[in-house]
Structure 1
Amino acid sequence: MRPDQLDLLTTVDAPTLTPDGGRLVVGTSRPDFRTDGYTGQLWVMPTDGSAPPRRLTQGYRDAGAQLSPDGSTVAFLRSPAPGSDSGAPSAPQLALIPLDGGEGRIVTDRRLGVTGFTWSPDSRWITFSSPEPEPGRYGTVAGVGPGQEDPRLVTGPDHRLNGKGYTADQRSRLFEIEVPDPSGEPAFAARGRMAAPQDDPAGPPALPAARPLTGGERDASDPVYAADSRHVFFATTPEAGFGQSLRTAVAVVEARRDASDRPGPTAASDAGTVRLVAGGIEVPVGFGSPCVSRNGEWLYLLGQDLGESGLEFVASNGAVYALPADRAVREATIGWDRPAAGLQPRLLTDPAALGFAGSLRPSGQDQVLALGASRGRTVLVQVSHHGRSEVLVDQQGEVTGACEAGGTLAVSSTSAASPGAVGVQHRGSGLRELFDPNASWRADLPPAAAMEREYGGPDGAGGPRGHRPNQPAVHGWVFLPEGPGPHPVILTIHGGPYAQYTWSWFDETQVLVAAGYAVVMCNPRGSDGYGAAHGAAIQGRLGTVDHQDIIAFLDGALEEFGPGGGGQLDDRRIGVQGGSYGGYMTAWITAHDHRFTAAIVERGYLDPVSALGSSDIGWFFSEQYMGSDPEHLRQQSPLHHVDRVRTPTLVIHSEEDLRCPIEHAQRYYQALWARGVEAELLIFPGEDHELSRSGTPWHRRVRFEHVLRWWDRHLAQQVTDE
C-alpha cells in the first residue's frame, strides 16, 4: 500500500449482540484526509447472514456501541467532526438510538467528554465515566485560557499522562442518568426569557439529569452494574490525590434513589459512599476491568501482581480472578488499607503462562471472555469461576473484542488479510466472517505475505550467522516484495518492550514492502506472548539478550534468503528502524554494530536518566527495567554511547510526546550532528507518542513519505561490485 491509501484502512470496535444473538451492532473507524480526523458509524446486521450489513447511524464518528439488556436500544459515543462550530463540546458524548432505526440522540454534554459507560440489567439506567475539570481549568471560566490558569501544585510522581496531559485536575468520575425514551419527543435547551428561571419545572429538560455517583478524590472508570441495578462496581486507585504506585483497585458504590426509584439530588457533593472490593494500598495485586456474570452471581476481575512496592510491573501478566458478587456488595469496606477479611478474589488463570489484557465480557450465565497474548496472536479464552479455561478462537491474527449471547459468539479481529473484520460462530460451528468493511479494496490491494520463521536456536538456520551456542530460538516473520532480488532489507523493532509483533495487518510493513523493501521483524526476549520468564529476561540488562536475539533473527534471515541462500535479500543494504523501545534498540544497535546502511530512530526512550523526571512513566519505568544504580543506568542509555554511532540516522519525534519527551530526540540528534554523523530531525507539532498509530491522518501520511524518502536515499541504490 502507498501512504496516500491510509484512508482505506478501516478498523472495527468490539461487537454487541441482541439477547437472542440474532442481530449484531458494531462500530467502524477509518482515517479521513478531508477532515484530518477519524470517521466511522455503527452498522447493524443479522448474524445468520440473511441480509447485508446496514449503516445504523450517520454521525461523523460513532463508536463503542452497547445494546441494552432488553435489546431495544443502542448506546454509543458520538464525536463531532474536527473544527465543528456547533457550540457543543467537541469531546465524545453519550448517545442513544433505537435498534430498529431513527436518529441518534445525544444525552450528555460533558465538557471533557464521556470515556465509558454501562447499562443497568433492567435497561433503565446508564452509568458513565467522565473527566471532571477542576474549577477554573479547561475552559470552565470564560476568558481564562490555558496560559492564564492558576499554577498546579504537584505532590506526587504520577501527575501526567501521554495523550492527556495533567491528570489530577481532570479526574474521571461516575455519573448516572435515567434512560429517556429514544423514540420520544426530543427536548431542546430553552433560550431567551424562557431560560431565565433556572429552576422552572414547567418543561422537560433538554438532557437527562446526570447524578454523580463518585467524588473527585480518585479516578473512577470501567463501571458495571450489579444484578440489582442499584450497585455499581468500578475501577479506581487505592490512593487519593497523586498516585504513588501502579496499584489499582475495584470498588462499589450504591446508586441512591428515593422510594419510587427515582434519581436523587444532582449536587456534586451528593456522591455516594465508595467501598473497597478488591485491592488496596498494601495489597500486591492491582485489580481492574470488573465484569458481572449474567446470572449476577460472580464478579470477575483482571489482576496484576505488582509486588510489595506496587511498581513491579515488568512482565507481570494480567490474570483472571473471581469472587461472589453478592458478597462483594455486602462485605466491601469503607477503609482503603485492605478489603474485608476473607473477601479475597480467587485466581483462575496462570499469569506465568498467558497474560490477559483488555476488558472482560460475560459469557453464558456464569462465565467470562478474556483476551490473551500468545506467540504473535491474541486469542479468545472463556474462563469459568471453577477455574476451567477454554480457548475459543485462536487464529493467525488478533482478537480485538468479543460478545456472546443466545448461543452466538461474535468476534472482532485483525489478520494478515484485513485491518478489521467481524466474524460469528454458532453452537457447533466454526468462526465465519460476517462483516469486513475493508472488503471493497482487499482484492485490489492484496497484503504482502508473511513468512513465519524461527532463527537462532539449535534447530534454526545454521552457519556462523544464523546459529549461536546457547542462543534460544527467536520467533518472527520475513516479508519479501514482488520481483527478483536482491532486495534492500529493513529490520524493524517493536515498542514496549513488553509487546509483540503479530500476524495482523501492519501498515508500517505493508508500506515498506510495497515500496520494494524486504522487512524482517521478530519478538526477542523481553517481548509479550511467550511467558513471563521470556518477558523478564531483559530486566536490568537492556541491550544484551534482546540485542542478541534481534541480530540472531536478522542473521538467520540473511542466511536463508541472502546471497548464500535464496538471493532475495541484499546483505549490503540493511536499514534498521523502531519506535519507543524500538527507537531505544535502534539507537543502541547502531552504537554497537556498524553493518547498517542507515537508521530511523522514532519516539525513542533514549535517556533513562533524564526520563526519571521528564517522562510520564519515568518515575517507575527506568528503575524497574534498568535498575537504580546510577552508573548501571547510564551504561544502558543510548545517549551515553552515541559517540560510537556512525550510521546515518533520521530521528522522528512528536512535540507533545510525554512518554518519551522530545528532549531525548533533540539531544540525540544534536550529539550525532556535533560528531559529524549524517542526521535529520523530523518534528511533528500537535502529536504525542501515538503519532504512527492514531495521529492525525495527514501527519501519518507525511510521516510515511519521509520514511520512504530516507530509505530511498540510502537503500534504493543497488550496490555494485568494483
Structure 2
Amino acid sequence: MKQGIKAEDLYRLQFVSDPQISPDGERVAYVAKRINQDKNYESHLYICGLNSGASVQWTNGCHKDFSPRWSPDGKTLAFVSDRSGKNQVWLISSEGGEAVQLTGSTQGAGSPVWSPDGKSLLVTVAVEEEKEEEKALKPLEVTHLKYKADGKGLLNEVYSQLLHINLETKEEVQLTDGAYHHFDAAWSPDGQKIAYCKSRGQGDTISFASDLIVRTMNGKEARINQETGSFTDPVWSADGEHLAFLGQTFEFGSATLGNVYTAEVGSGKVLCLTREFDDHAGDAMVGDMHFGHPSPKPFWSKDGKGIFFIASTEGNASLHYVTMEGEVSQITQQKCHLYGYSMDVESDYAVFAASSPTVPGDLFYASLSNLSEEVRLTDMNEELLSSVSLSQPEEFTFINDEGFTVQNWLLKPPHYTEGCKYPMVLEIHGGPHAMYGNTFFHELQLLAASGYVVLYSNPRGSYGYGQQFVKACMEDYGGGDYRDLMAAVDHVVTHCDFVDPDQLVVTGGSYGGFMTNWIVGHTSRFKAAVTQRSISNWLSFYGVSDIGYYFTKWEIGNHVWEDPEKLWQHSPLRLSSKVETPLLILHGEEDFRCPIEQGEQLFIALKQQGKSVKFVRFPKSDHNLSRNGDPGLRVNRLQYIVSWFDDHLGQAEQGGRLNENIAADRV
C-alpha cells in the first residue's frame, strides 16, 4: 500500500515555472526549482523540444538560475543567476556551452529584456542614491512611511533602475534615476520606445502604487495612467500603437479587483477592458509550492483585436480572452491553477504551466483552437508521486446569510475507509483577499495523510466570486467571514457522517491566523488550534507592520487615532480571557508583515491567565516561512502542526489514542 505524503517529502518535490517559447516556435525554455541534498533551494534552466517532448537540463550547480529570455534570433538565452554571489544577468548559447556573465552590478541585476534587433538588452540594476564612504555602524534616519518591508528588512536608499547594455560595444547607459523603482520594461516593436513601470516612491501612503511610463530613446517620458493605482506588465501591440497592461485603482482598497487595460500610445487614451468582468484579472491562488513564480503578462492576439490574460474564478486560475470592446470569454476550462504561459499566436498554440491538487506543477502544450487535446511536456515529480497516495478534493457549496454562494473543499485521508469516523481540521487562508482552489498544497495533503479530513473554504472576502464578495469582509473582520467558516463546519458535520464533530481542530496563517485567534475567542468547539504569523492586536499592528498604516484603514475602516475602540473591538487579544482551546502560536522572528510582537502579546496574555498555550519562534524567518522559508524550518513547522493536533485529540479521546482507522492511515 502506498503511504500518504510526509513533511519530509518537501525535499523531494520539484516545481516548474516561467515557460518561454523560442522565436522559431520549436522549443520552450523553463525553470525547475527544487531543494538540493544540502537542503538549500536551487533552480535551473531546461529546454524542451515541442515536437519530441524531450527536456534537457541547460544549467547546473548549487545555485539559482531563472528568468530565461530568448534572443530574437533564438541563438542565445539571457537569464539571471546568483552563481557569482549576487543576482546578475548571464548569457548562454541555445546550442549549449558555458554561460558568460554580462552584468557586474554591486547590488545585483535582473529582468533581462532583448531589443527587437537583438543587439542590446534592458536590465534592472539596484543603484544606491548615495554611496557610503565607510561601513561603520551608524543610525538609520527614517523620514518615509515605508522604511521596512517583509522579506527585505529595513530599507536603504537603493532603487531599481533601467540599464541599457549594447552587446556589441559593451557600453552601459543608465536610463532612469531618482528615488523610485523602475521595473517591467518592454521594448516597442521598432525599438524606438520603452514602456516600464515606476513606483510612486517610499513616501507614498500606498506603498505599492506605480505608474506606467513610455520613454523615447532620447529620454522623453510620458505617464500613461491618469488614475492612481498599481499598474504593471505592459506589452506592446504588434503595430506599436497600443499597450496592454494590468492594474487596479484601489477603489476598494486591497479588495479591488485587478483589471486589463489598453492605452493608445499616441493619444494617451486609456481603456479598462474588463470593467464589466466581475472577477480578478490575475493569479490569486493560495499554495505553499508556487511562491515567487513570475506573474504572467497579458498576450495580444494575432489580429490585435483582443488580449489573453489569467483570471481567478471560483477556485481556478484560467486563461481568458477580452476583446477591445470588453467582451470576456474563458479559454481554458480545466479545474486547475494555470500560473504561467507562453504563446506563439502566429502558430496558434501555447505552453502552460499548471498545477492541480495532485500535480505540483508541470508544463502542458495545446493548440489555442483545440485546448481539449493538450499534451503533457513534463512530469517532474513522477518518482515521488508514484510512491505516495494523494487525496482528491470533493467540492461543495452553500448559500450564506447574505445570499452569497460559498465554495468549499474536503480532502479525505488517502486510505479513507467507509464507515469510519475521522477528526477534521479547518484550514483558513490568508489575505483575506486570496483564494483556495484547485492547486497542489503540500500542507493540506500532509494533514489528510496524517488521518484528518481537511476542510478548506473561500469565505466572503476571497477572490474568485466578484467585487461585492471580495469586499464583503471589509470593516467586518470576525463578522460575516466568521459566520461563513462556522457554516462550512456545520454543513460538514451535518452532512458527512465520517467526520467526528467532537474531534475538530483549526489552523490558518496571516489573516487565517487572525481568524484562528478570533475563533478560539468565540467558541470552544475546536479541541486544538494552531495560529500562524497572525494578527492579535490591530492597535499595535497599525504602527509595527510594513503595511499597517494603510491596510488597517482599508480593512478595519479607521486610522489608529480616528476610532481606536473599533480597532480594539476587532482585536482577538481582547478575547484572551474567553479562550479555552489549547493554542500553538507559530511565528517568524523576522516577520515584518505581521510582526512577531503580535504573537508575543497573545502568548503573554494567555500564559498569564494559565491557559494552554505554546509559542514557537522560527529564526531568520519572515512572513513567507511556509512558502519559501528555510526548508528545514518548513518541515519543522509542519511537524509542529500535526503533533499539536495529534496530542490534543489524543487527550480528548481520554484513552490517549485516536480511532484505529486513523492510526492505520499513518502506517
Verify same fold: TM over 0.5: yes
Q: Extract unaligned runs of 5+ from structure 1.
A: 81-87, 181-203, 257-271, 328-341, 458-467
Cα displacement (A) at 1:379: 0.9
In the alignment, structure 1 residue 212 sits paired with structure 2 residue 174: yes
Residue aligning to 2:410: 478
Residue aligning to 1:487: 422
**Cα pair 2:53 2:377 within 8 Å, conserved:** no
User: Which letter does structure 2 place at the counterpart of 1:694?
Assistant: N
Distance 2:578 2:638 in 1: 28
Partner secondary structure for residue 103 of structure 1: coil
Residue aligning to 1:465: none
Matches within 5 A, 1:566-577: 568-577=498-507
**Cα pair 1:578 1:601 within 8 Å, conserved:** yes
User: Which letter does structure 2 place at the counterpart of 1:556?
Assistant: H
In the alignment, structure 1 residue 287 sits paired with structure 2 residue 231: yes
Partner secondary structure for residue 15 of structure 1: strand
**Cα pair 1:294 1:362 within 8 Å, conserved:** no
Cα displacement (A) at 1:155: 2.6
Residue aligning to 1:153: 141
Distance 2:508 2:564 in 1: 26
Partner secondary structure for residue 360 of structure 1: coil
**Cα pair 1:601 1:652 within 8 Å, conserved:** yes
Residue aligning to 1:667: 601
Q: Extract unaligned runs of 5+ from structure 2.
A: 283-294, 657-667
Residue aligning to 2:259: 319
Residue aligning to 1:422: 363
Partner secondary structure for residue 499 of structure 1: coil
Cα displacement (A) at 1:643: 1.8
Residue aligning to 2:115: 120
Cα displacement (A) at 1:569: 1.2
Give the alignment partner of residue 378 of structure 2, picking from 430, 435, 440: 435
CA deviations 1:361-389 (Å, max 9, x no partner) are: 43444343311110111111233434343
User: Which letter does structure 1 place at the counterpart of 2:376?
Assistant: E
Cα displacement (A) at 1:570: 1.4
Residue aligning to 2:567: 633
Distance 1:471 1:642 in 2: 32
**Cα pair 1:361 1:402 within 8 Å, conserved:** no
Higher Cα radius of gyration: 1
CA deviations 1:280-302 (Å, max 9, x no partner) are: xxx24442221112342320111
Cα displacement (A) at 1:478: 0.6
Residue aligning to 1:76: 79
Residue aligning to 2:515: 585
Residue aligning to 1:172: 160
CA deviations 1:311-331 (Å, max 9, x no partner) are: x42321111111224x1xxxx
CA deviations 1:629-668 (Å, max 9, x no partner) are: 2211210111122221111100000011100011001111
Residue aligning to 1:496: 431
Distance 1:114 1:413 in 2: 28
In 2 relative to 1, CA 385–210 (structure 1 residues): closer, same or farther, beyond 3 Å? farther
Residue aligning to 2:290: none
Residue aligning to 2:39: 36
CA deviations 1:44-94 (Å, max 9, x no partner) are: 11213x2521111224321121212222211111123xxxxxxx4x23211
Q: TM-score w.r.t. structure 2 length?
A: 0.89
Give the alignment partner of residue 447 of structure 1, picking from 376, 390, 394: 390
In the alignment, structure 1 residue 251 sits paired with structure 2 residue 213: yes
Q: TM-score w.r.t. structure 1 length?
A: 0.83
Give the alignment partner of residue 278 of structure 1, picking from 204, 225, 238: 225
Cα displacement (A) at 1:347: 1.2
Distance 2:628 2:525 in 1: 33
Partner secondary structure for residue 635 of structure 2: helix
Residue range with higher mean Cα deviation, 441-450 or 579-588: 441-450
In 2 relative to 1, CA 449–718 (structure 1 residues): closer, same or farther, beyond 3 Å? farther
In 2 relative to 1, CA 63–286 (structure 1 residues): closer, same or farther, beyond 3 Å? closer
Residue aligning to 1:355: 280
User: Which letter does structure 2 place at the counterpart of 1:344?
Assistant: K
Residue aligning to 1:265: none
Cα displacement (A) at 1:159: 2.3
**Cα pair 1:648 1:677 within 8 Å, conserved:** yes
In the alignment, structure 1 residue 719 sits paired with structure 2 residue 649: no
Distance 1:42 1:469 in 2: 50
Partner secondary structure for residue 599 of structure 1: strand
**Cα pair 1:118 1:223 within 8 Å, conserved:** yes
Cα displacement (A) at 1:273: 5.1
Give the alignment partner of residue 321 of structure 2, picking from 358, 366, 382: 382
In 2 relative to 1, CA 514–598 (structure 1 residues): closer, same or farther, beyond 3 Å? same
Q: CA RMSD in A?
A: 2.2
CA deviations 1:157-186 (Å, max 9, x no partner) are: 222211112345121111111236xxxxxx
**Cα pair 2:31 2:44 within 8 Å, conserved:** yes
Distance 1:244 1:274 in 2: 24
Cα displacement (A) at 1:502: 1.0
Distance 1:400 1:446 in 2: 24
User: Which letter does structure 1 place at the counterpart of 2:144?
Assistant: G
Give the alignment partner of residue 619 of structure 1, picking from 546, 549, 556: 549
In 2 relative to 1, CA 537–361 (structure 1 residues): closer, same or farther, beyond 3 Å? closer
In 2 relative to 1, CA 285–134 (structure 1 residues): closer, same or farther, beyond 3 Å? closer
Partner secondary structure for residue 224 of structure 2: strand
Matches within 5 A, 1:58-77: 58-59=60-61, 60-77=63-80
Partner secondary structure for residue 369 of structure 1: strand
Cα displacement (A) at 1:253: 2.8
User: Which letter does structure 1 place at the counterpart of 2:636?
Assistant: V
Of Structure 1 and Structure 2, the greater strand share is in 2
Give the alignment partner of residue 249 of structure 2, picking from 294, 301, 305: 305
**Cα pair 2:176 2:182 within 8 Å, conserved:** yes
**Cα pair 2:19 2:340 within 8 Å, conserved:** yes
**Cα pair 1:218 1:240 within 8 Å, conserved:** yes
Give the alignment partner of residue 17 of structure 1, picking from 5, 21, 24: 21
**Cα pair 1:363 1:404 within 8 Å, conserved:** no
How high is the sequence identity, in percent, across the aligned residues?
Answer: 29
Distance 2:24 2:651 in 1: 60
Partner secondary structure for residue 520 of structure 2: helix
In the alignment, structure 1 residue 552 sits paired with structure 2 residue 491: no
Partner secondary structure for residue 158 of structure 2: coil
CA deviations 1:251-310 (Å, max 9, x no partner) are: 123345xxxxxxxxxxxxxxx45432224xxx2444222111234232011121224xxx
Partner secondary structure for residue 350 of structure 1: coil
Residue aligning to 1:106: 101
In 2 relative to 1, CA 157–179 (structure 1 residues): closer, same or farther, beyond 3 Å? same
**Cα pair 2:165 2:173 within 8 Å, conserved:** yes
Residue range with higher mean Cα deviation, 217-226 or 390-399: 390-399
Partner secondary structure for residue 232 of structure 2: strand
In 2 relative to 1, CA 427–591 (structure 1 residues): closer, same or farther, beyond 3 Å? closer
Partner secondary structure for residue 9 of structure 2: helix
**Cα pair 2:145 2:202 within 8 Å, conserved:** no
User: Which letter does structure 2 place at the counterpart of 1:696?
Assistant: D
How many residue pairs get aligned? The number is 625
In 2 relative to 1, CA 234–170 (structure 1 residues): closer, same or farther, beyond 3 Å? same
User: Which letter does structure 1 place at the counterpart of 2:246?
Assistant: L
Partner secondary structure for residue 331 of structure 2: strand
In 2 relative to 1, CA 104–649 (structure 1 residues): closer, same or farther, beyond 3 Å? same
Cα displacement (A) at 1:718: 7.2
**Cα pair 1:289 1:301 within 8 Å, conserved:** yes
**Cα pair 2:129 2:178 within 8 Å, conserved:** no
Comparing both chains, which one has the higher relative contact order based on Cα–Cα distances under 8 Å and sequence gaps of 6 or more? Answer: 2
